[in-house]
């Protein structure tokens, strides 16, 4: 008999869940969070969080059980609309926030996502960025008000 | 040699400890600084990697309770409306600070005289003026001379560019005819003293890998070390020890290996910030000082001030490129700084126009405030917010109140079993009214600048960046802990140079004033050396 992994470590289930939280964009420029393979990173981070980890883990476990009772393949087998509904009904918004706390940083550091939102796919340092100069007209106005 | 007695022992290597140690080193006395944290390395800062935002929320979080690094001590903040924030390393909280560098204004030193509230400082702006200027040179400050809100002073470096976001926000203040001025910023607009200019990395709040932001590990400390000052890291001071006559004679500290060590000194100087300093004084009980060191007034740990903050975000149709550039340094406004009783509160506030945050933080903030949902609409809502936001921080002056305190937690301890601090801080009615007023005015300014929508956080919890007032200065030993030049009334060879000594806190960031005061204390000690302990 094979043991079922805990829901957070069930990569197939987690991939579906993360894709529901951040689906691919309509234009296709931005991938879904599940498709980017972030499940393991998010699960590890949550499991290392003594405050958020346990309640999120328990809620996600319950979600998987509910979805398995509704569909033989559970969440991955459900139609997207139905899947969203069950997530909304089962997961407290604060617990979803707990997942997003780790999902957003993982998602928005991915080079494909950075390119999709118009950022260069590189760390901020050492290249840095250009910044526009101060508006000369504004500066003139300030100079006129200067204390001598 | 380790534990050779020293002339001057500084505890804490942050903003104030660094400035003081550098200045006092001229005396020729041996100077040692004990710091519980390590030296930081610029190549370890988060901006070196794609995961900079994730790391900024974890091991570079501004909260010691989130980081829980070996250098950190926990702070019980359950009974506080605002979380106290800090960093523990050589450089102290300047490792993570935004480097927005206003001075207190002349009126901030005489609040009682002007408005009949709080108390007057025993020193004034003019006393600190030469030290403000010296400190600006040491830190490397960029700014535009001539702000009518201040006595004339010239920052050593030209102002930082406002960028599109700054130009846009400033246009709102112009339209309303409200005061605004490019911020004095401890960030280099050009190369200075061997440090490279800012390249707009935009991750100041998790350490500056470029070294353009003035954290004291790269400004004062190298200069102090060249003068012979020693810094011993990984050393957590447990208590200040006293002689039979009640004078300080050194400290007990845990070294990097966790061994208890004794360090003797002729003069002990506290620079542990507005939470760490009262904690250490209260932990230094003795037969001579049963209520804690220097605490005959019972004011150690009382009158904690934290500058309650609100933030208002404006959403604009045009992209503002706000992610790029020094996060906290655009411009300030003192339009509502002084008391106008028709507003329903006393004293006032300033605005600090800031840039915006990275994509992950934008998404988190947006979700928390109901602007960016998860699911199908996520990307559309995110795109509306990201790079389209301009923000105004509202910094309000909170008046000293003895019920806002740093005490010792009866149970919580740090890794060395030293009692940890408990912070109790409740917002006053005056602060509440002031915050509400500030939020409305900030919305007005943002709409005048072209925002299509505004979103406010009327009281920021994670905003206890400024820790002040817990060992206030004054001339009367019954109503203050230290005198006008930082000397403890009860213990004449004990000095405090951090924000604990603030009598009131104005409505601007405090570090320029904290450091100017630390330099002033060093010079006062030098001048009074012959009669120091009379
Ligand atoms: C995220 C953030 C942003 C900020 N932005 C700004 C800004 O833009 N402008 C501004 O003016 N201010 C800002 N501040 C505040 C500013 O950083 C502080 O005012 C300033 O650093 C205080 O200096 P200090 O020397 O009193 O304390 P710190 O700089 O906090 O240094 C205290 C040092 O003492 C050490 N210490 C404490 N206890 C012990 C002990 N028992 N034994 C040994 N060592 C000990 C600590 O490890 C620490 O290194 C910001 C702060 C934070 C956290």
Kindly list the averaged pLDDT for each block of 10 residues, start to end, along chain B of length 534: 87 98 96 98 98 96 97 98 98 98 98 98 98 98 97 97 98 98 98 98 97 98 98 98 97 97 98 98 97 98 98 97 94 98 98 96 96 97 97 98 98 98 98 98 98 97 98 98 98 98 98 98 96 86
Adjacent-strand bridge partners of B351: B333, B394
Residue A72 sits at the chain B interface (C-beta within 8 Å) = no
Output the CA–CA distances (angstroms, integers) from residue B10 to A65, B21, B406, B423, B493, in the order listed.
Answer: 59, 7, 21, 24, 12
CA-CA distance, B331 to B183, in Å (whole number)? 4
Q: What is the DSSP string of B117-132?
A: SS-B-SS-HHHHHHHH
- The protein residue whose alpha carbon is closest to atom 27 in ligand 1 is B273
CA-wise closest residue to B475 among B297, B300, B303: B297
Q: Label the pairing between strands B230-232 and B260-270.
A: unpaired
Please enumerate in sequence order all residues whose Cβ is within 8 A of that of B173, keeping only pairs 6 or more positions apart, or say none: B179, B180, B331, B333, B335, B445, B448, B449
Q: Report the pLDDT value the prediction gives residue B532, as an integer from 0 to 100.
A: 87
- What is the CA(B517)–ligand 1 centre distance, in A? 15
- For testing the chain A interface, which of B332, B374, B384 should be mutated: the one with the most A CBs within 10 Å? B374
- Give the β-pairing of B31-34 and B6-11: parallel
Query: CB under 8 Å, gap of 24 or more: what pairs does A144-147 form?
Result: A145/B146, A145/B148, A146/B145, A146/B146, A146/B147, A146/B148, A147/B146, A147/B147, A147/B148, A147/B150, A147/B151, A147/B152
| Interior/surface letters B350-367, b for 16+ CB within 10 angstroms, e for the rest | bbbbbbbbbbbbbbbbbb
C-beta atoms of A130 and B387 within 8 A: no
A138/B162 touch (CB, cutoff 8 Å), yes or no: yes
List the alpha helices (DSSP H) in chain A.
Answer: 11-21, 39-47, 53-70, 80-90, 93-107, 111-116, 136-144
Pocket lining: B499 vs ligand 1, CB cutoff 6 Å: yes
| Least CB–CB distance from B375: residue in A84, A118, A139 | A84
Asked if residues B512 and B135 have their Cβ atoms less than 8 Å apart, the reply is: yes
**Interface test mutation site (partner B, options A87, A108, A116, A121, max chain B beta carbons within 10 A):** A108
Closest approach of A147 to chain B, Cα-based (Å)? 5
CA B456 – CA B459 distance, rounded (Å): 9
- What stretch of H or E contains B395? strand B389-396
From residue A78, alpha-carbon distances to A136, B193, B334 in Å are 58, 63, 57
Which atom in ligand 1 lies closest to the alpha carbon of residue B328? 8
Using CB atoms and an 8 Å cut-off, which of residues 6-25 of chain B contact chain A? Answer: none
d(CA B425, CA B154): 37
Give me the pLDDT at residue B415, please.
97
CA B274, CA A64: separation in Å to the nearest integer?
48
Q: How far apart are CA B515 and CA B499, in angstroms?
A: 9
Nearest atom in ligand 1 to B99's CA: 8
Question: Inter-chain contact A123–B200, Cβ cutoff 8 Å?
Answer: no
Pocket test for ligand 1, best of B232, B265, B511, B517 (most atoms within 8 A of CB): B511
**CB proximity A4 to B under 8 Å:** no
Interchain proximity A129–B170, CB inside 8 Å: no
Q: Which chain B residues are within 8 Å of A144, Cβ to Cβ?
A: none
| CA of B263 relative to ligand 1 center, distance in Å | 23
| B65 has a chain A CB within 8 A of its CB | no
Helix axes A39-47, A93-107, angle to 10 degrees: 120
Ligand 1 atom with least separation from CA of B499: 26
DSSP symbols for B41-57: -GGGSGGGSTTHHHHHH
Q: Say what the pLDDT of residue A147 is.
A: 76
The full set of domain ranges for chain B reads 6-49+56-531
- Note the pLDDT of residue B3: 87
Task: Find residues 111-130 of chain A whose CB sits inside 8 Å of chain B.
Answer: 111, 113-114, 117-119, 121-130
How buried is residue A3: exposed, middle or buried, by Cβ count under 10 Å (0-12/13-18/19+)?
Answer: exposed
Instruction: Please give the DSSP secondary-structure letter assigned to residue B186.
Output: S
How does residue A3 score in pLDDT terms, banded at 50, 70 and 90?
Answer: low
- Decide if the complex's ipTM is over 0.90: yes
Q: Which of B11, B12, B141 for mutating ligand 1's site (highest number of atoms within 8 Å of CB)?
A: B12
pLDDT score, position B432: 98
- DSSP run (H or E) holding B242: strand B236-242
Superfamily (CATH H level) for B6-49+56-531: FAD/NAD(P)-binding domain (3.50.50.60)
- Closest chain A residue by Cα to residue B54: A105
Q: What is the pLDDT of residue A148?
A: 67
Distance in Å, CA B90 to ligand 1 centroid: 10
Q: Is B202 helix (H, G, I), strand (E, B) or coil?
A: coil
**Which two tokens mark B159?**
């102002």
- Phi/psi of residue B100, nearest 5 degrees: -75, 130
Residues 6 or more apart whose CB falls under 8 angstroms from that of B318 comprise B168, B388, B450
Please tell me the distance from the alpha carbon of residue A145 to that of residue B43, in angstroms, as a whole number: 43
Residue indicated by tokens 């500290």: B253
Per-residue model confidence as pLDDT tens digits over A77-123: 999 999 999 999 999 999 999 999 999 999 999 999 999 999 999 99
**Most B CBs within 10 Å, among A142, A144, A146, A148, to test the B interface:** A142
For residue B508 and ligand 1, the question of a CB distance below 6 A is answered with: no
> Which residue of A104, A124, A131 is in closest CB contact with B364?
A104
Residue of B46, B62, B85, B86 best suited for mutating to test ligand 1, as the one with most atoms within 8 Å of CB:
B86
């Amino acid at each position: 008999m094979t043991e079922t992994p805990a829901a957070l470590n069930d990569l197939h289930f987690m991939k579906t869940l993360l894709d529901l939280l951040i689906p691919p964009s309509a234009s296709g420029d931005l991938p879904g969070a599940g498709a980017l393979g972030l499940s393991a990173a998010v699960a590890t981070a949550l499991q290392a969080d003594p405050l958020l980890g346990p309640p999120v883990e328990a809620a996600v476990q319950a979600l998987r059980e509910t979805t398995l009772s509704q569909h033989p393949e559970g969440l991955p087998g459900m139609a997207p609309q139905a899947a969203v509904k069950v997530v909304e009904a089962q997961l407290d918004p604060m617990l979803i926030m707990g997942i997003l706390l780790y999902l957003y940083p993982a998602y928005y550091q991915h080079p494909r996502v950075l390119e999709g939102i118009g950022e260069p796919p590189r760390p901020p340092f050492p290249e840095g960025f250009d910044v526009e100069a101060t508006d000369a007209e504004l500066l003139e106005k300030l100079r006129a008000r200067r204390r001598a | 040699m380790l534990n050779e007695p020293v002339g001057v022992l500084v505890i804490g290597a942050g903003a104030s400890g660094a400035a003081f140690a550098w200045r006092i080193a001229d005396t020729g006395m041996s100077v040692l600084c004990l710091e519980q944290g390590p030296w930081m390395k610029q190549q370890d800062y988060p901006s070196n990697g794609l995961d900079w935002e994730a790391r900024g929320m974890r091991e570079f979080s501004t909260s010691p309770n989130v980081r829980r690094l070996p250098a950190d001590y926990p702070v019980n903040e359950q009974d506080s409306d605002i979380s106290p924030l800090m960093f523990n390393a050589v450089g102290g909280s300047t490792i993570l600070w935004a480097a927005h560098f206003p001075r207190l204004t002349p009126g901030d030193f005489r609040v009682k005289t002007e408005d009949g509230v709080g108390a007057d400082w025993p020193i004034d702006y003019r006393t600190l003026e030469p030290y403000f200027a010296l400190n600006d040179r040491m830190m490397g400050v960029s700014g535009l001379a001539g702000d009518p809100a201040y006595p004339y002073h010239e920052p050593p470096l030209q102002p930082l560019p406002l960028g599109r976001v700054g130009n846009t926000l400033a246009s709102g203040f112009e339209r309303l005819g409200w005061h605004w001025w490019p911020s004095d910023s401890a960030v280099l607009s050009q190369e200075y003293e061997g440090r490279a200019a800012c390249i707009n990395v935009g991750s100041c709040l998790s350490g500056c890998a470029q070294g353009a932001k003035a954290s004291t590990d790269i400004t004062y400390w190298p200069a102090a070390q060249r003068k012979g000052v020693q810094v011993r890291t990984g050393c957590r001071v447990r208590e200040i020890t006293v002689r039979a006559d009640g004078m300080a004679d050194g400290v007990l500290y845990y070294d990097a290996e966790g061994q208890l060590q004794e360090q003797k000194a002729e003069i002990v100087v506290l620079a542990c910030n507005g939470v760490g300093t009262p904690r250490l004084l209260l932990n230094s009980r003795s037969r001579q000082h049963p209520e804690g060191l220097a605490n005959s007034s019972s004011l150690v740990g009382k009158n904690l001030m934290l500058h309650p903050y609100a933030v208002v975000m404006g959403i604009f149709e045009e992209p503002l490129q706000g992610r790029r550039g020094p996060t906290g340094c655009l411009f300030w406004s003192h339009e509502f700084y002084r008391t106008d009783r028709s507003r329903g509160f006393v004293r006032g506030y300033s605005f600090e126009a800031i840039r915006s945050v990275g994509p992950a933080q934008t998404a988190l903030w947006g979700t928390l405030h109901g602007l960016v949902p998860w699911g199908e609409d996520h990307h559309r809502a995110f795109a509306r917010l990201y790079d389209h936001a301009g923000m105004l921080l509202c910094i309000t002056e909170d008046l000293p109140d003895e019920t806002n305190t740093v005490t010792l937690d009866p149970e919580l301890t740090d890794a060395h079993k030293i009692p940890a601090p408990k912070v109790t801080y409740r917002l006053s009615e005056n602060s509440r009214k002031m915050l509400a007023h500030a939020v409305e005015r900030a919305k007005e300014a943002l709409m005048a600048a072209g925002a299509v929508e505004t979103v406010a956080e009327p009281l920021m919890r994670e905003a206890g960046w400024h820790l002040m007032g817990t060992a206030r200065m004054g001339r009367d030993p019954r109503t203050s802990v230290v005198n006008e030049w930082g000397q403890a009334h009860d213990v004449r060879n004990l000095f405090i140079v951090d924000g604990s000594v603030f009598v009131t806190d104005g409505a601007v960031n405090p570090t320029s004033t904290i450091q100017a005061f630390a330099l002033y204390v060093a010079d006062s000690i030098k001048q009074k050396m012959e009669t120091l302990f009379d």
